[in-house]
């Protein structure tokens, strides 16, 4: 059976617009630069330096550690060229070429191979499709600048063939969580963490999400709501934000307390869907990103698509924008529904989610995950 899907209430009782509080999720714009006061979640030191490596200029102090480690290498490098007073910019260029030179060629070749798919996506979504090629070109350019500024060796990763962001399996242990409060009780931090680690697909949280916190506030309306065509009668339950780093921060807002914890976990699954989509997943190749968006847009227009009032109500005068926002939310909705009850999905949608899960968690089994989740919930729920 379908749990208390929030939009239902609003449809059944069309009261005055002010009372008619539909519920929605939203994903704040990823271009937003995080303001330091808002980012109170502090990742582990290793994670922090990794995340900030990708941000621009601010990480001088974190960089000193890397600098020290690199001094020996640099001395050897300078010596081997017999140049003792060369400009660091030159070495930056050389180091960049050593680490990343061939990647630009690889990127160009791959772009030719995938030209048809890229063109199709541009036709569908126009400027709303941010090509993964351009993203990686930008990252390569940032690396070039970094090498030029500091003339350093850095551990190079292949940005073209793999898109694995910072961290590895231990990251799941460092995802910060708060306790959860729902209509039927409170779940403490440890129990919530157990549920994340043991009952959600590993690749959904690991290496994707920095923090999941419930706060006792309502979310102010954001620009994205206007762009996506939501009006003020929608209330935000949860959102995910990707700042300069590769990991998302999930927030749950006070209206979520009107839902049972089972549903609260469903809303979290929705946000985890966003953290693992073609834009934000840290474990997908370029082609996988493009294939996923193509597949989702196909499902979105299929007659037997998963129907949600939330997705269907997205409107925008720009049809490409509308389709793109719908695709983003459609994916998150089928992830949420997969968590709630996969049998309610059409087979194509269920397979879309399942295939994605299997890439990072081949052993994931929905049934055993559900049983584990139910028993952790039952054993830990405390009345509020
Ligand atoms: Zn969403």
CATH number of the domain where residue 277 is located: 3.40.390
pLDDT value, residue 24: 52
Cα of 164 vs centre of ligand 1, distance in Å, is 23
Q: Is residue 68 part of a domain?
A: no
- Distance of CA 328 from the midpoint of ligand 1 (Å): 7
Q: What is the pLDDT of residue 40?
A: 34
Q: Which structural domain range is residue 156 located in?
A: 87-160
User: Are 176 and 287 contained in the same domain?
Assistant: yes
Quote the pLDDT of residue 369: 94
Asked if residue 360 and residue 284 are part of one domain, the reply reads yes
Interval between CA 336 and ligand 1 midpoint (Å)? 10
Distance CA(237)–CA(215), nearest Å, equals: 11
Environment class of residue 372 by beta-carbon count within 10 Å: exposed (0-12), middle (13-18) or buried (19+)? middle
Whether the CB-CB separation of 272 and 209 falls below 8 Å is answered with yes
Question: How many structural domains are present in the chain?
Answer: 2
CA of 58 to the centre of ligand 1 (A): 31
Q: How far is the CA of 274 from the centre of ligand 1 (A)?
A: 6
Mean pLDDT by runs of 10 across the 384 residues of the chain is 30 35 47 37 37 40 57 57 58 73 86 96 95 88 78 64 48 78 96 93 86 87 57 76 84 94 96 94 90 97 94 92 96 96 95 92 91 95 89
SS3 107: helix
Asked if 147 and 20 touch (Cβ cutoff 8 Å), the reply is no
Nearest to 94 by CA among 144, 156, 160: 144
Instruction: Find the 271 Cα to ligand 1 centroid distance in Å.
Output: 6
Q: How far is the CA of 332 from the centre of ligand 1 (A)?
A: 6
pLDDT of residue 359: 86
* DSSP code at position 83: -
Domain identity same for 241 and 119: no
For residue 154, the model assigns a pLDDT of 54
Contact, 195 vs 379, CB < 8 A? Answer: no
Of 99, 130, 160, the last residue of a domain is 160
- Ligand 1 centre and the CA of 239: distance in Å? 7
Using the mean position of ligand 1's atoms as its centre, give its distance from the Cα of residue 175 in Å: 20
Residues 147 and 156: their CA atoms lie apart, in Å, by 11
Residues 132 and 199 in one domain: no
pLDDT (0 to 100) of residue 291:
96
With CA atoms as reference, report the closest residue to 159 among 102, 201, 238, 211.
102
Domain identity same for 151 and 216: no
- The per-residue pLDDT for 235 is 77
Report whether 133 contacts 107 (CB < 8 A).
yes
Domain presence at residue 15: no
d(CA 148, CA 87): 10
Considering only CA atoms, which of 89, 69, 91, 65 is closest in space to residue 80? Answer: 91
């Amino acid at each position: 059976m379908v749990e208390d899907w929030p939009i239902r209430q609003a449809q059944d009782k069309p009261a005055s617009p002010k009372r008619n509080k539909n519920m929605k999720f939203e994903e704040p714009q990823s271009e937003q630069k995080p303001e330091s006061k808002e980012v109170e979640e502090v990742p582990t030191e290793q994670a922090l330096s990794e995340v900030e490596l990708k941000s621009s200029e601010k990480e001088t102090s974190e960089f000193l550690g890397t600098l020290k480690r690199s001094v020996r290498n640099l001395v050897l490098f300078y010596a081997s060229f017999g140049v003792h007073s060369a400009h660091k910019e030159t070495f930056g260029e050389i180091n960049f070429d050593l680490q990343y030179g061939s990647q630009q060629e690889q990127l160009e070749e791959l772009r030719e191979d995938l030209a048809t798919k890229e063109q199709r996506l541009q036709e569908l979504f126009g400027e709303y499709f941010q090509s993964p090629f351009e993203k990686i070109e930008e990252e390569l350019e940032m690396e070039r600048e970094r090498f030029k500024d500091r003339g350093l060796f850095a551990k190079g990763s292949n940005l073209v063939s793999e898109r694995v962001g910072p961290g590895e399996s231990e990251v799941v242990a460092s995802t910060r969580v708060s306790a959860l409060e729902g209509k039927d009780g409170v779940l403490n931090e440890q129990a919530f963490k157990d549920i994340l680690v043991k009952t959600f697909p590993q690749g959904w949280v690991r290496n994707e999400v920095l923090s999941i916190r419930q706060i006792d506030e309502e979310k102010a309306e954001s620009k994205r709501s206007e762009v996506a065509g939501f009006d003020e009668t929608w209330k935000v339950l949860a959102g995910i934000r990707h700042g300069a780093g590769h990991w998302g921060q999930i927030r749950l807002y006070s209206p979520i307390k009107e839902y049972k914890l089972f549903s609260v976990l469903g809303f979290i699954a929705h946000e985890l869907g966003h953290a693992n989509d073609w834009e934000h997943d840290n474990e997908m190749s370029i082609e996988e990103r493009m294939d996923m968006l193509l597949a989702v847009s196909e499902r979105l227009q299929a007659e037997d698509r998963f129907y949600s009032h939330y997705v269907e109500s997205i409107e925008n005068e720009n049809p490409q924008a509308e389709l793109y926002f719908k695709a983003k939310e459609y994916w998150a909705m089928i992830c949420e529904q997969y968590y709630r009850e996969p049998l309610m999905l059409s087979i194509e949608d269920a397979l879309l989610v399942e295939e994605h899960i299997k890439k990072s968690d081949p052993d994931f089994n929905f049934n055993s995950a559900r049983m584990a989740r139910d028993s952790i919930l039952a054993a830990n729920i405390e009345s509020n």
